[in-house]
Amino acid sequence: MTDRAIHRASDPLDPLDPLDPLDSPRDGDGGLRIREAVRALIIGPDRRVLLVRFEFPDNGRRWALPGGGLEPGESHVDALRRELVEEVGLHDCTIERQIWTRLHVVPFIDGRYDGQREHIYLVRAPAFDPEPTLTWDQLNAEYVFELRWWTLDEIVASDERFAPEAFGVHLHALLLHPLLPGDPPNPPVDVGV
């Protein structure tokens, strides 16, 4: 792995205005307190994707994309850089563009939020073994219990639960029609719950 920093490809869809996620704004989602979050669809050179296994006391086990909530004053890209280093130890990658969005309405365990709006970015990375900078005790406190590379075939054949629920379908569509660095940006696709 090189020491090259994570960088943002030019993308006019990248919201550069920092948000204050601790304000828990009630918005057009029926007055719900929605947390803003970022996630990364990390695709390696072999077309495998890196997923995180979450285990929630009230909602069970599921595999999802790495990422997390924005801290006060963070832009999406800054939050994603931080989350990738903390959660998977990824320093060397290219954050390309926001490709998907997801609104998941479920009360948080701590009661601060009624749901989460996720902004999902395409990230290309060299092959690497995930080595989080957070300890496993810290990750477990955030309900993270495993990191694993998956192929599309493994995802489609699996009995595991994924977030979003139709993750395999959306990943298949993206891999069939890959985005190239010079392609014009499209509005992010809503991938559902």
- Residue 193 is assigned to a structural domain of this protein: no
CA distance 170 to 89: 25
- 178 vs 99: CA distance, rounded Å: 11
Residue 86 lies in a domain: yes
Contact 15, 23 (CB under 8 A): no
The token pair that represents 19 in the structure block: 């948000």
pLDDT digits (tens, 9 = 90+) for 116-174: 899 999 999 999 999 999 999 999 999 999 999 999 999 999 999 999 999 999 999 99
Residues 118 and 98: their CA atoms lie apart, in Å, by: 10
**45 inside domain:** yes
Is a pLDDT exceeding 50 seen at residue 24?
Answer: no
Cβ proximity of 42 and 50 under 8 Å: yes
pLDDT of residue 120: 97
Q: What is the CATH number of the domain that holds 44?
A: 3.90.79.10
- Interval 78-108: pLDDT, tens: 999 999 999 999 998 899 999 999 998 877 7
Domain count within the chain: 1
Which bin fits 73, alpha (ψ -120 to 50), beta or left (φ > 0)?
left
68: domain range? 34-181
Stated pTM of the model: 0.81
What integer is the mean pLDDT of 183-190? 83
67 domain residue, yes or no: yes
Does residue 12 lie in a domain region? no
